[in-house]
Structure 1
Amino acid sequence: MCESWYLKLTLQIFSEFTGFAILFNPLQISCAELKNIIHLHPSSYSVSRIKKISPLCLWFYSELRENLREMGPLFAIPILVAVNGIAGIWAVYGIALHNGTVNLTDHFPYISHCGAKPPASCWFSQVCNNGCILALIFDTVRFLAVKNHSKNRGYNIASFVLGIFSAVGLSITGNFQVSNNVYLHYIGAVLAFFGGLVYLWFQLFLISDKIVKYIGYVVCSICTILIICMTVFHFCEFLTYTAICEWTLATSFFLLYPLFVFEFSDIDLKFTINTKGSASAGVDQPLKDY
């Protein structure tokens, strides 16, 4: 498994420069380790105190660049899920705003309202369908990987089922806009976000890296709080607050997927195809691995 040094160092720098040392204290590396890092790269060290973070950043990116060569191609799957989700929904917002299909003077719009009318609705459907396919790929690969290396069989199967429901719910949300079928749209949204969040809770429990798990628990907790606040605000008809919670929830939700990048980078996926000749020939062709 890839080491989590990059997360550890990043959180150490973040805690020192923002004052959140208490929150990330369990993840801090010692001052001796930090001095050793700077000592290894003295040529990049800046005399200016303002730029003292520079050598650490240079070291960080140089090490990351070297590790990318050792990663398997599947590390791109969690990134694609996150990029499609975050860039997609905000692109829909931009298109809706540009075409005047949403009115900011009334209240901040829901994601559903931004994707309710064309041309934004077309993009909204495409983003959701892309997300459904990518999520199914993510769920399947993750299920097979955990199945071969974990004793938590029940958790793995349960999370896989939840992941499928969440992916299908995302497709339903995009294909049945709130302006066409409000009931199906909200059923899909509940499956996508509520089911998806429970799925990610399960996956964080099954994840191997403790630091990644800790970060994931923090982000998942924030998402859970946002869901509760969004539900309360919705029934209290605080539309702007509900919309803000929804957009923040969606963005935070998709940000959870890149935490699995180094889990996927260690997966070696192989497809085995068994081809047979015609019945008259009665000869089996050899197995082909891809």
Structure 2
Amino acid sequence: RSPSYLAAQGCWPGRRLQGSPALSPFLSKCGTFPPESCFFSLICSLGSFMVMLVGLLRYAHVIECCGPSLLNTLGLAAGWICAAGLTMVGNFQVDYAKVLHYIGAGVAFPTSMLFVFLQSVLTYRMAKTRGHYWTGHLRSILSALAFITLVFSGVFFVQESFVLQHVAALCEWIFIINVLVFYGTFTFEFGAISTDTFLVLLKASQAPKSYKSDSSTASTPHGHSHSEGLAMV
């Protein structure tokens, strides 16, 4: 229902409609009842897929520019774990599966914060031009803002005050929008992605196998020499 209708009924923002649950500005509460819950699940599932795709493209781009990196691998893992938590948040509504919903939120929010932090560090490590450094500054500001709003959202969420609950909801919305803007900054790097980037990713995934094959090949001559030695004896 629109805010004007709710205000006319005298239930915005703190009161309630007759026979309906209390209104809440939290993101989860806005997607509890149909048809909003259907769109909420659809958007979260689509967003989860996009997070996985962006994380994989970023992982391949960093490998292409700087080679394998532990921070890059951690960033990919954080992004994919965040995607799993986001799927749980979208498909288990808080009023019907509260435990699973909160588990998904507890996974998605911290790992999302870890992802943006790691990507900010990687941006500075990869920076070569002034534009790259400015991108790093922008991402650092977004990461700091995301961290502050996430902490305030968690602190105010556990309070019973009506005003603090709404402040927590506001911080939650700011955190989500802030992270979305952060993902939008990847357009600077993704414009240079080509088929070579995917070939680098494919080679990186096959590196352990090639290493094993090389090791087995290297050990083969020793095996032959050992058998020849036994034959001579």
TM-score by length of 2: 0.70
2:133 pairs with 1:215? no
Where in structure 1 do 4 or more consecutive aligned residues deviate above 4 Å? 95-100, 270-273
Q: Which has the higher helix share?
A: 2
Structure 1 or 2, whichever has the larger Rg, is 2
2:118 pairs with 1:206? no
User: Sequence identity of aligned pairs in percent?
Assistant: 28
Partner of 2:215: none
Partner of 1:140: 56
Partner of 2:110: 194
State which of 207, 220, 225 in structure 1 corresponds to 2:148: 225
Which of the pair has the greater relative contact order for Cα pairs under 8 Å at 6+ separation? 1
SS of match in other structure, 1:267: coil
Mapped partners of 1:204, 1:269: distance in 2: 25
Equivalences, count: 177
Mapped partners of 1:96, 1:224: distance in 2: 32
Mapped partners of 2:195, 2:86: distance in 1: 26
| Residue 150 (structure 1) shift | 1.6
Q: Specify every segment of 5 or more residues in structure 1 that has no aligned partner in the other structure, as ranges.
A: 1-94, 274-290
Task: Please tell me whether the aligned partners of residues 96 and 115 of structure 1 are also in contact (alpha carbons under 8 angstroms).
Answer: no
Mapped partners of 2:118, 2:66: distance in 1: 13
Give the direction of change, closer, same or farther, for the CA distance of 1:203–1:152 in structure 2 (3 Å limit).
Answer: farther
- The amino acid that maps onto 2:143 is C
**1:94-133 alignment to 2 at 5 Å?**
104-106=12-14, 108-133=24-49
Mapped partners of 1:145, 1:98: distance in 2: 48
Q: Specify every segment of 5 or more residues in structure 2 that has no aligned partner in the other structure, as ranges.
A: 15-22, 203-233
- The amino acid that maps onto 2:66 is S
| Residue 117 (structure 1) shift | 0.7
**1:1-290 alignment to 2 at 5 Å?**
104-106=12-14, 108-151=24-67, 153-207=69-123, 208=127, 209-237=132-160, 238-269=164-195
Mapped partners of 1:263, 1:96: distance in 2: 40
Mapped partners of 2:68, 2:117: distance in 1: 14
TM-score by length of 1: 0.57
Mapped partners of 2:5, 2:81: distance in 1: 33
